Structure 1
Amino acid sequence: MSQQIVPPRSSAENRARVVVGLDGSAGSRAALEQAWLRAARSGAVLDVVSVLPVQHVWSRPAPDVQRQDEALADTQIRARALVDEVVSEGVAGAVEVRVRAVPGSPAGALVEAAEGAAALVVGSRGRGAVRSAVLGSVALHCVTHARCPVEVVHAAPDQRASGVVVGVDGSAESFGALRVAIGEAVARGTTVRVVAAWEVGNMWSDMYALTGPEKNSVRTRLQDAVASAVADAQQEAADVHSRPPLLTIDVAEGPPSDLLVTAAEGAELLVVGSRGHGAIRGLLLGSVALRCVVHAPCPVLVVPPPRRAAPAEEELAPATAQT
């Protein structure tokens, strides 16, 4: 397929969007390439957002509007030049692209830009040996606060990789991630590897052996739950797609994050569900998802839980005793 930028269409506002954050770093360039491919596969508009950090200090509370506008214009020119450079190097697919520069906090601006989007793609700052310390506050904030799936891309992903890996643990969030993984595999024309991990917590005594479930029982319950979820997801995929992907299931004992990171070797995408429900999402991403985002060798797509409807007014009213 030829690579090109499709001229904007008037209907773009009603089409799906893939948002990507661009700041000129190697990680954001890799994110741009992955976001382009994602938009090309789905027919979505690629919304390239470059954020100009604006800081207000006490000594000068009034911003210089003219200088800010000039900086925004320069930022947009640089972002457009990088888009053109990626296109000239042969990224595949015809995509409608919108490039914009906005002022503000990079993390907050990207989360706001991604509201209502099909996906947000961000680069990782993961350089050096201790990647957990350099994931990047922007990527971490986006993963924990965006309401759409967020793909975190490390610099220079393996172009020879194939297959989608998804972690399933029996929770509703992981089953949602399974459905997303199937959609990703259909769009990419590849397979899905479902990884379900379980482990018995470490104890200082033999008490767990006396009070906890037997290992075989835990494994059997997990296998049954995963098999049932996969069967349902396969049926849904068959109803929607003419050629649903091949799914395989691996159930293994061990730390889930370690097994998922290992399974992601050679994969083109790892999909995990987020535990992000509640008021403080940053604390509820889940250690498994966080470790996968930090340590996986391939891009990681974090799928948030579905939005919950606001409770009805009568549900919020305090209960009263009746006589």
Structure 2
Amino acid sequence: MSADADAAVDAVGEAQDGGPGPVVVGIDGVEESRAALTWAATEAARRGTWLHVVHAAPQPVYGDVWTGGYAPLVLEELEAVARRTVEAAAEVARQTSPVRVRTHVSHESPRKALLTAAAGAQLVVTGARRRGRGHSGLLGGFVLGSTSLFIASRTPCPAVVVREEPAAGARGVVVGWDGSAQAEAALRWAADRATATDGDLLVLTVWRAPADRATGFDPGAFEDARRAAGEDVDRRVQDVLDRLRREHPGLRVQGRGVEDTDPGDVLLAAAEDAELLVVGARGHGAFVSALLGSTSHDVLHRATCPVVVVPDAGRAAEHRGGDRSGARA
């Protein structure tokens, strides 16, 4: 077993033995992943834990091509390149924050490598790929890869997607809440995070006016139903704020209900100057968009600030041997 493989086994063992789990960051290259890498290093230092840098470099096999005399040399060079990549990444992390770093070169797919590393981890951090030169698009030059989406929908611990480093002065946490189990997990994580960092927390509930047969074409009936729905949302949000203030004395928290047909637009607008945007993930479904939920899927593609996707307690517990205490911040 290689030194990297030993480190990966030790990482899982340490977490399972009760030690603090690491912050895991998946990288492609150092420059491509710099934002995610530096964010993860800073977060690991803040938590007082170590950083686990994972780089997936599957060995290529094309029929009999690698059976020739040059195959070992080529594979050795690929391995050397991968190791230089993680060593350079580790150096960037140490220059960013005083953090312990372990590295691992995996020969599995990026998805499998990161899911394996996520066992016992506190967070899994991924980035976004830079688009080709001259293509700015709607994402500020970055496009979210399938691996980041997959990890956000599957990992047993919170997943963080860092497209670019947070803007100077970014502060506070924004969380989307709709009363579901997934939103409750996200709310707990966001409140814990804001408390730990002495940051402000904004809780947003996006709702739309009811449209059903009861109101028919009667404008008055529709307005009455709309007003009642808005008042109900306001009461529910106030109940949540009261609960958070009881559970987190001193937490600076505000909340509001916003009537809109596009929750993603509302969350993204509120998070423009935020340090983090937190959303919940659905636990089951056949496709990534179903696993994440349409709003989470939307903000992951469009947010410029880091986005945290928090799994519900059920999915997290499946990977923790039945402990249903909720996600850790």
- TM norm. shorter chain > 0.5: yes
Are the structure 2 counterparts of residues 54 and 202 from structure 1 closer, same or farther at C-alpha, using a change threshold of 3 Å? farther
Farther off after superposition, 285-294 or 228-237: 228-237
Whole-angstrom CA distance in 1 between matches of 2:67 and 2:130: 36
Show the 5 A alignment for 1:37-56: 37-56=42-61
Whole-angstrom CA distance in 2 between matches of 1:130 and 1:208: 39
Q: Does 1:35 align with 2:40?
A: yes
Partner AA of 1:47 in structure 2: H
Whole-angstrom CA distance in 1 between matches of 2:281 and 2:236: 19
Are the structure 2 counterparts of residues 259 and 26 from structure 1 closer, same or farther at C-alpha, using a change threshold of 3 Å? farther
Report the counterpart of residue 6 of structure 1 in structure 2: none
Q: Does 1:227 align with 2:234?
A: no
Q: Does 1:168 align with 2:177?
A: yes
Report the counterpart of residue 26 of structure 2 in structure 1: 21
Whole-angstrom CA distance in 1 between matches of 2:20 and 2:77: 31
Q: Does 1:299 align with 2:306?
A: yes
Among candidates 127, 144, 166, match of residue 153 of structure 2: 144
Among candidates 284, 290, 294, match of residue 287 of structure 1: 294
Partner AA of 2:106 in structure 1: V
Q: CA deviation at 1:19?
A: 0.4
Structure 1: runs of 5+ lacking an equivalent: 1-8, 239-243, 311-323
Q: Does 1:192 align with 2:201?
A: yes
Report the counterpart of residue 81 of structure 1 in structure 2: 88
Q: Does 1:57 align with 2:65?
A: no
Are the structure 2 counterparts of residues 17 and 66 from structure 1 closer, same or farther at C-alpha, using a change threshold of 3 Å? farther
Are the structure 2 counterparts of residues 54 and 248 from structure 1 closer, same or farther at C-alpha, using a change threshold of 3 Å? same
Q: How many residues align?
A: 292
Task: Give the TM-score, by structure 2 length.
Answer: 0.78
CA RMSD in angstroms comes to 3.1
Structure 1 contact 18–120 (Cα < 8 Å) conserved: yes
List per-residue Cα deviations over 1:146-183 (Å, max 9, x = no partner): 11111000123313211111111121211211110011
Whole-angstrom CA distance in 2 between matches of 1:108 and 1:134: 21
Partner AA of 1:250 in structure 2: R
Structure 1 contact 276–282 (Cα < 8 Å) conserved: no
Whole-angstrom CA distance in 2 between matches of 1:113 and 1:84: 20
Q: CA deviation at 1:222?
A: 1.8
Are the structure 2 counterparts of residues 25 and 82 from structure 1 closer, same or farther at C-alpha, using a change threshold of 3 Å? closer
Whole-angstrom CA distance in 2 between matches of 1:62 and 1:159: 53
Q: CA deviation at 1:71?
A: 2.6
Q: Does 1:125 align with 2:129?
A: yes
